[in-house]
Amino acid sequence: MAEGETESPGPKKRGPYISSVTSRSVNLMIRGVVLFFIGVFLALVLNLLQIQRNVTLFPPDVIASIFSSAWWVPPCCGTASAVIGLLYPCIDRHLGEPHKFKREWSSVMRCVAVFVGINHASAKVDFDNNIQLSLTLAALSIGLWWTFDRSRSGFGLGVGIAFLATLVTQLLVYNGVYQYTSPDFLYVRSWLPCIFFAGGITMGNIGRQLAMKEELSWLHLDHRVEANPGLT
């Protein structure tokens, strides 16, 4: 190359840190979509069970799907599932307490099976009164947390999710969107918070498992950046 000529700058390569941020955004979107469809599927199956057992009743004019469920229930549950599943690993990361208890898909699938069983029990098992059923489901839900989670953040988020979800459900029932048969706790059934608690733990475990590969990638990247700050 002759003197005085300058080499034309080529396309600037992104450092691995910037590339990782981009891939992390894509990964976050994919995990959100997966969690959304998992939530939709579980909502269709579990809500169908509740309707068949006449636990929940929808007005005829809002029943609009092949699963005899109000059309808005699956999307709402899917959205909530995506938020919960993304929130759990995020809270773990911010608290500096990575969840390491039973991090394998076989454990996650067992957790889902137990959650479905708890929901099934709420609709099919007959007790003398709702208090006995509520206490039984509460024990099963806490047992699910102890068996598949055991983290303080998981328990706290589960309680918060149960409170908020129950409050929203009470508002929906109060405004006549749908109703529960034999309500015994402010327009709803007293065992409903137990179902929401177990559902939050279940979706949190799924979200944590989906995020595990990303967590390992970021841990490896942090070590590389600390060793060579110029990589950013």
Q: Which residue has the higher pLDDT, 64 or 207?
A: 207
Listed by start position, the domains of the chain span 30-49+72-223
Instruction: Give the mean pLDDT of 198-220.
Output: 79
Q: Which helix (H) or strand (E) holds 7?
A: none
pLDDT digits (tens, 9 = 90+) for 90-106: 888 888 766 666 678 88
Confidence (pLDDT) at 64: 44
Q: Identify which of 82, 49, 87 has the alpha carbon closest to the alpha carbon of residue 68.
A: 49
Confidence (pLDDT) at 194: 92
pTM assigned to the model: 0.75
If pLDDT is split at 50, 70 and 90, which confidence band does 17 have?
very low
The answer to whether 93 and 163 have CB atoms below 8 angstroms apart is no
CA–CA dist 108, 102 (Å, integer): 8
Three-state secondary-structure class, residue 83: helix
pLDDT digits (tens, 9 = 90+) for 159-202: 999 999 999 988 888 887 777 777 777 778 888 899 999 999 99
pLDDT digits (tens, 9 = 90+) for 76-91: 899 999 999 999 988 8
Q: Which residue has the higher pLDDT, 168 or 1?
A: 168
CA–CA dist 147, 160 (Å, integer): 20
| Residue 222: pLDDT over 70 | no
Confidence (pLDDT) at 228: 56
Confidence (pLDDT) at 1: 47
Three-state secondary-structure class, residue 56: strand
| Residue 230: pLDDT over 80 | no
Indicate left, alpha or beta for 12 from its phi (over 0: left) and psi (-120 to 50: alpha): beta
pLDDT digits (tens, 9 = 90+) for 55-77: 555 555 444 444 445 677 788 89
The answer to whether 136 and 183 have CB atoms below 8 angstroms apart is no
pLDDT digits (tens, 9 = 90+) for 21-53: 557 788 889 999 999 999 999 988 887 776 655
Backbone phi, psi, residue 56, to 5°: -120, 145
